[in-house]
Structures are given as C-alpha cells and as structure tokens.
C-alpha cells in the first residue's frame, strides 16, 4: 500500500510540473498569414490626370503609373465617354503598401492585363 501511495504521489508530482518550454511555444502569437501578393483582380478602373484607381467589390486600390498601366489606359480610352467613366477590367497585379503615404494605403502594380471589354459601355461614373 505504501508503494502504491508513493507511486501515486510521485506520478502527481511529475505530471503536475509545468513544461515551461512548451508553454512558451504555445503562448507565442501566431504568424500572420500573408496572402499571395500576385493576385488576379476584377474591378473598374478610372484614370484622371496623374492618378489611377481600381475599385472592386471589396477593395479600392491606387494604381502605380508605369508602362503597363499606361498600356491599360490606352486600351480603355476608346471605351470612355468622359474622363471619369469607370471601365471594368481584369488584371494580374501585385499589392503593395503605398510608399508615398498619400492617397491610398495600398497600391497595385499591374503585371498583366487579362481582360478589357471590347465595346461595352459602362454607365457607372464618379461624381
């Protein structure tokens, strides 16, 4: 009986000890999941002067003005009836934080133009 009681006490002592290393591992904050930075985005684009914006269902991004965005601007220009008309497009783009910290929090760099409507007119415009 004394042996059984001794084993019970010993097992309680051993199992009740906290494994601090394991607890530290469990208490560490989970790493934030970073989404794929190159994404296919569908939305409406408007160019105005020195800036461009893409608006989708759940997002609004500024567009970095580079050679690919200028090609997109030239492709949608014949479809616009006024300067502020938004044209639906589908592009492959990389989402980045805005380095200039003015305007939009995030900007996209267009890597590839996937779809531009051929002759469809869109009535939505910014007012």
Return the domain boundaries, the chain: 38-115
pLDDT score for 88: 93
**CA–CA separation, 40 vs 80, rounded Å?**
23
Q: How many Cβ atoms sit within 10 Å of the Cβ of residue 90? A: 14
| Strand 60-63, strand 106-115: pairing | parallel
> Is the entire prediction scored with pTM above 0.85?
no
Radius of gyration of the chain (CA): 28
pLDDT score for 123: 44
Domain 38-115, CATH 2.40.50.140 — does that match? yes
**CA–CA separation, 45 vs 43, rounded Å?**
7
Percent of the chain at pLDDT exceeding 70: 72
**CA–CA separation, 42 vs 108, rounded Å?**
12
pLDDT tens per residue, range 64-122: 999 999 999 889 888 888 888 899 999 999 988 888 777 788 899 999 999 998 764 44
Where is 77: in which H helix or E strand?
A: none
pLDDT tens per residue, range 7-46: 777 776 766 665 555 566 556 555 444 555 688 999 999 9
């Amino acid at each position: 009986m004394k042996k059984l009681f001794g084993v019970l006490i010993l097992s309680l002592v051993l199992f009740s000890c906290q494994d601090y290393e394991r607890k530290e591992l469990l208490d560490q904050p989970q790493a934030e999941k970073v989404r794929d930075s190159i994404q296919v985005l569908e939305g409406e684009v408007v160019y105005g002067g020195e800036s461009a914006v893409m608006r989708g269902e759940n997002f609004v991004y500024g567009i970095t003005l580079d050679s690919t965005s200028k090609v997109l601007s030239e492709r949608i220009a014949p479809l616009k009836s006024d300067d502020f008309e938004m044209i639906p497009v589908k592009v492959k783009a990389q989402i980045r934080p805005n380095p200039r910290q003015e305007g939009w929090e995030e900007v996209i760099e267009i890597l590839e133009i996937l779809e531009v409507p051929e002759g469809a007119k869109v009535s939505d415009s910014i007012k």
